[in-house]
Chains A and B, each alone.
Chain A
């Protein structure tokens, strides 16, 4: 038996992805927290360095499997409604994201936000550090609200504003996908709307996003 002295190394492009979410177990408002947890845990098993930041009652860092979780507390305690909550929370999330990026010396490849609330700090970070922004959308305001009262109209406005900065908008359900397609006319050409069914699909999108980002083909 001949022992091989040559070891074949497969060059795997190592990715570090920062997930920003408003909810993550045990901080659960609805189904999104569980979907996010399932996704990031699956992704972390796929040669991917996954960091996640979410608001919590305590500030700290812990691990959920291989997922590195950074929590942030909210500084503004009096919120008039969900819109002021989203805007004020963005300040704290930005502060925490900045700490993460400084800890990793800026070595984060993709910023992945979940739902509109967490997309506000995602946009600010993406614009400052020139990182590709990907947004997972589970529903849009036109599905949830009436778009008649001012809060609903404001959320709709924030969604359109923030989503227009994303390189990819991803969703896992057909209804949201068709609603996002209706939003198409207010989004820039570079924003691609995708229907994704698994973590593998998302990994493919990360790689595609990075290639597009590096080549600036938009």
Chain B
């Protein structure tokens, strides 16, 4: 399994996805090698029974003109590290790549080892940028196309992503499998000091409206701030808690100042998993106003904490949330609709609790990592059967 992030290196949802998937696959008897980037001071190689994690830590030595060259460079270092740390690397049955960032390595390994390549696409450049506008984006788009083309099977996390991949990467439908992301539910039985945790972020009489995610344009935090302004013009007992880091953070802080709601919006920055699970448990509702969302694992986390959720009607959110059943959907980029939904849930506690309870049950039923690992294993087995019948194998 190749991925550019794996805990403790966490950039986005990919890291957790690879962590949980590899762990669950290992429990099912699959020997998994995770080849990834590390962080300075983190162990280069960790072996836990059948799971081996190999990290490239500090070898990325020479400067690069831009990010894509950096990606190519760390792919080369990952290859070298694989050869150095896993002498039997040619014996792997399947190469499983996650996203374009490891496409050079995945494609090269596929051809050198003559083994089937499976790719999980978590998003596409076309979707992230709402089109391809520059040569930089086109290069990434082409790398995604090449990776999809070279893959025996492609896994995506939602039907929305499946359609996007077919449209933008010209992939045949029978190559694509939809396996939704999963979540380990927040442990609601674990005792916490509720008021102490809550008082870190809000006054006792304030209701907490939570957002978790990257501070990037496609996450729609600017829409949430616009909606916050409307909500706060109607009621003052609300605190908006914005959890996460990202390139737009300072802009969004400035925006909240411009709107005159800075003292009602709390930007926490990055928080660790322990803190985050406490935040979920002390919040009143969760809001995810994304403009583009291939899946949206955070909404599952919020639902697993029995939080009523308000999401924009895009991508994966549309498939997870049934309007009025386990959450509320609003049109993307519409601050008025978002403000109305927030206001409604804050004012109607019974409805909010009902939505939260139903969302929790849905997560337990449909979005567990054990189920995802089972489905991924089926794709592996299916691929290996086809591979065995094929003539495309190493001749020596």
Contacts and interface: CB of A to CB of B under 8 A. Distances in A.
Interface in A109-124: 120-121, 123-124
Contacts of A81: 65
Contacts of B104: 87-88, 90-91
Contacts of A91: 104, 107-108, 146
B83 A127 contact: yes
A102 B69 contact: no
Most chain-B CB neighbours within 10 Å: which of A87, A120, A121?
Answer: A87
A68 interface: no
What's the dominant secondary structure at chain A's contact region? helix
Contacts of A103: 395
A187 to B, nearest CB: 14
A102 B394 contact: yes
A83 interface: yes
A154 B395 contact: no
B63 interface: yes
A107 B63 CA distance: 37
Contact of B68 (A80, A101, A121, A161): A80
B366 interface: no
B264 interface: no
Contact of A84 (B69, B79, B111, B395): B69
B395 A79 contact: no
Interface stretch (B133-141, B308-316, B324-332, B372-380): B133-141
Contacts of A105: 395-396
Contacts of B149: 75
Interface in A78-108: 78-81, 83-84, 87-88, 90-91, 94-95, 98-99, 101-103, 105-107
A142 B149 CA distance: 38
B396 A106 contact: yes
A127 B79 contact: yes
A107 B396 CA distance: 9
Contacts of B112: 94, 98, 124-125, 128-129
Contacts of B64: 83, 150, 154
B205 interface: no
B113 A80 contact: no
A83 B65 contact: yes
A79 B39 CA distance: 29
Contacts of B63: 150, 153-154, 157
B61 interface: yes
A205 interface: no
B91 interface: no
A181 interface: no
A84 B139 contact: yes
B69 A78 contact: no
Contact of B79 (A78, A124, A129): A124
B108 A94 contact: yes
A46 interface: no
Contacts of A154: 62-65, 69, 73
Interface residues of A, number: 40
Interface of B (DSSP majority class)? helix
B139 A83 contact: no
A87 B72 contact: yes
A156 interface: yes
Contacts of A101: 396
A124 B109 CA distance: 9
A204 B64 CA distance: 38
Contacts of A39: none
A76 interface: yes
B255 interface: no
Contacts of A169: none
A144 to B, nearest CB: 16
A106 B395 contact: yes
B243 interface: no
B281 to A, nearest CB: 46
A90 B72 CA distance: 10
Contacts of B135: 78, 80
B65 A120 contact: no
Nearest to B146: A75
A120 B68 CA distance: 16
A90 B139 contact: no
Nearest to B65: A150
Interface string B97-133: 0000000100110011110000000000000000000
Contacts of A158: 62, 73
Nearest to B70: A154
Interface of B: 61-66, 68-69, 72-73, 76, 79-80, 83, 90, 104, 107-108, 111-114, 135-136, 138-139, 142-143, 146, 149, 394-396
10 contacts: A80-B65, A80-B136, A81-B65, A84-B69, A84-B139, A88-B72, A90-B108, A98-B111, A99-B111, A161-B76
